[in-house]
Structure formats: structure tokens, C-alpha cells
Amino acid sequence: MTRQNNLTTGRIYEAVISKERRGEYLGATVQVIPHITDEIKARVRDATDSVDVAIIEIGGTAGDIESLPFLEAVRQMKLEAGPQNALNIHVTLVPYIPTAGELKTKPTQHSVKEMREIGIQPDILLCRTQMPLTRSVKDKIALFSNVAVEAVISAPDVGCIYEVPMMFHDEGLDELIAERLNIWSRAPEMAAWQRVVGRFKNPLRGTVKIGIVGKYVHLKDSYKSLHEALVHGGLDNECKVELEYIDSEQVEQQGPEALLSALDAVLVPGGFGDRGTEGKIAAIGYARKNRVPFFGICLGMQLAVIEYARDVAGLKGANSSEFDLDTPHPVIDLMPDQRGVRNKGATMRLGAYPCVLVPGTVAAEAYGSLEISERHRHRYEFANDYRETLSAAGLTLSGASPDKRLIEMVELRDHPFFVGCQFHPEFKSRPAAPHPLFARFVRAALERQTQRMKSEGRKQPESTTVAN
């Protein structure tokens, strides 16, 4: 997907104001209807021009002031498209009250009422709930929501998020959508999802414990893409990945040994600002010295460079100029053409960029290719002035831009797995196609676990063969 696939209120209003300033409305008073709603519809059409089916999600809750222009826009789009070319699916809540021992339909009834008041009649209801809805509950919701009972779909909590497609298939949602939109299609192939869920629920090679050392750990969804990419790596290695979120500020206070010694691997993700960075650096140093598999992403790679510069290359006081403008050794810095740009957004490297890998490195082995493309979101870069110094000290610069101007990956050759990348590989990982760096990282965690268990005299979990 591209930036066209994400519409924010700010972008819509900015576009409308710019058009008004250019005189495109011929002096007419700019209003929410039709100007804002027309802009929303135009953006949706531009983003979906080359596809057969578009899923348009409107965030928020029914009745929110912020989402009203968007809801009005989709109301108009359905009228313009016709009933066989568009349908409204409303996600709603059916809470379970433990003290009463029953599911309550009132929130759903009121939510549908709000939607109908603004002119949208839901065609299908996806009912978020703790347990599957009984037929009697579905009948009640259908009666008070003016929705066919077969269009009231249970969306209960599941132990594995990848069960959701199979759950909706069992509820008949896929057939219902195809029927309402007059789409002819064959029966769905669910084997890939079944295989993913089977590996998730019944891992053949036990569990590995991986620590994510960050400063946003109190809101775990901050690392949702990372979380899922690590799960994908576990699926590829037929093992379960248990994640422990560790506050980097606690590492600063307690030391890395107390918090990291029980882990099979350590990952340091991206972030902005200097809070907690010394704790991340301490965690990286612990992983390097104790041969614990380490994976650094974005800021995680930059801090690995800083730790190595300080502790191995002898560059006392090395740091990033993001955190310390007076550092004697800015091993992480803005590129010369970024300096003096006052708008921070203009200095960010965003989107996909190509990268060339060095043959014989862990990165090249993991990818199985020397030319890759990955997505970026950062401002600061590996400072080219320190390439020779850090390379001479043993740091392998394993990936760079095709023009060799930007360092994209670093690693250590004499370590089980010590890899840092400037990009965000988690964005490209998929359950049936795990990202190679995450698959290789989890494999290294498994190997460390095996070595530790052998040294402690513990028995390995038995592997079994399952035929498809």
C-alpha cells in the first residue's frame, strides 16, 4: 500500500483549504458538505482505481464528531455505486456480563441506531464478543437492528489472531459478502491458514524466550508489528515465541544481568529521543559479551554502533548527535544535506530503499540474495567518517545503499547472531511468509536454548512428524 491508502482528517482539510486558496471553488463558501465529503470520496476513488474490491475502514465509534464527514462520504458512495456494488459492515460490541452470566445486546442496538440516524443501515454486523453468539442472541440483534439473522456474524476472542479468517469462514461471512456484492468465486482455500494456526498451537520445537528492550513497553501495541514478525519467525522454525517486554529505564537502574540472563535472545527496536537509551546500550553490550543472539532495528542498530564504538573501538564518549550535540565522536549523525533543514519531516528517510549486501555475511545468508529493498522511517544515519575506524575494530558493515553512501546493516562475524539494520523489516513479514531476518533470529535463539539446555543437562523437547 502507499500513502494514498491512509486518509487522515488533517490531509483532507489541508487539501480543501489549498484548493480554496487557488480559487478552485470559484469563491463559494467552503463547507463540510459537499467540499470535505467530495474530497474524501475523490481520495478513496484514487486509492482504489486499479483494484476489483476495496475495503474502506472508518476508525472511531459511531457518533464521534471526528468521523462524521467520513461516514457521510461513504453513505453517499453507496448511493452512487448501487446496492450490488457496495455494502456497509458495522463492527460492534456484545459484552459479556460475568455477574449476570449473559451477553448484552443493548450496546449493539444503540450503535446501529446511531448509524441509522446518520443515514447508514448496516448490511452486516460483526459482533465482537468473548464467546460465540447463540442463535437466540443473533435473532434478538437481527430484530432490533433491521439486519438479516444470517448477517449477524460472531467475532469472538481467539487464542491466535490467525484463526480469524477460518472463524469468519465458518460463520459464512465470505459467502455472504460475495453474494451481496454479486461476485462469483470458487470456494476459499484455507489450507495455508490451517497450517499457520496448527504450527502456532502445536509447536514441534518448544518455546524460546525473547526480550524486547524498549521504552514504550507499557503500551505493547506500540510494538505490534515487531510482535507479529517474531511470531512469524517462530512459525518458520516450528516453535513458540514467548516475548518479554523489558523497560530500558529499568535496565539502567537494575543492570542487564538481572533482567536479561534468562532470555534466549534480545531485540532492541526503534524509537525517538534519549530517554532509556543508556539502558538499551547496556542490554546490547550484555548480548554482545555473553554471545546472546541480538537483533537491533532502526535506533537499535544505531545504539549497537554506539556501544561498539565506546567499548571496542575505544571512542570514549561516542554517541548520536540526536542525543548529545557535543559528543566528541558522533558515530550516528545527520547527513550533511540534512543539516539546516528546520522542518523535521523533511529530514526523514521514509519508504522503500534498495540495499546491497556483502557476500558471506549473516544478512546475505538469511536473505539468500545480495540485493534487497526495505522500508525506512528515521532521520539519523551511520556517520561515514567512522566507517574505517569501526571496520578496523571488527564491526562488519554488511549492507549499504547501491551508491555506498548510506550504511544499512551491521553485524559481528564472531557472534552467533549480532545483526543491526537501519530499516524496519517487520513491516514486510507475513504469517505464511516470515521475514528472513526474523526467521534467522529465532533460529539463533533456538540454537542458544539448545546449547544452554545441554550444558545444564536438561532434555530437549521431542520432535514429532505431522503429515499434511
Please tell me whether residue 399 adopts helix, strand or coil conformation. Answer: strand
261 secondary structure, DSSP code: T
Q: Is the peptide bond before 83 cis (omega within 30 degrees of 0)?
A: no
Angle at 258 between CA 256 and CA 260, to 5 degrees: 60
358 secondary structure, DSSP code: P
> Per-residue DSSP letters for 214-225?
ES-TTSGGGGHH
End-to-end CA distance of the chain: 33
Q: Do residues 254 and 223 make contact, with C-beta atoms less than 8 angstroms apart?
A: no
* Best CA proximity match to 269, nearest among 290, 243, 289: 243
Strand partners for 267? 212, 295
Please tell me whether residue 397 adopts helix, strand or coil conformation. Answer: strand
> Per-residue DSSP letters for 8-26?
-HHHHHHHHHHHHHTTTTT
Question: What residues have CB less than 8 Å from 101, skipping those under 6 apart?
Answer: none
Q: Do residues 371 and 356 make contact, with C-beta atoms less than 8 angstroms apart?
A: yes
User: How do beta strands 396-400 and 349-357 pair?
Assistant: antiparallel
H helices of 184-223, where?
A: 191-201
Q: Do residues 344 and 379 make contact, with C-beta atoms less than 8 angstroms apart?
A: yes
> Per-residue DSSP letters for 84-152?
TT---EEEEE--EETTTTEE--HHHHHHHHHHHHTT---SEEEEEESSPPPHHHHHHHHHHHT--GGGE
Please tell me whether residue 297 adopts helix, strand or coil conformation. Answer: strand
Cα separation, 181 vs 171, whole angstroms: 18
**What's the Cα-to-Cα distance from 124 to each of 156, 282, 297, rounded to whole Å?**
16, 52, 41
Please list the active-site residues. Answer: 298, 424, 426
Q: Which amino acid is at 107?
A: P
Burial 134-170 (b: 16+ CB within 10 A, else e): eeebbebbbeebebeeebbbbbbeeeeebbebbebee
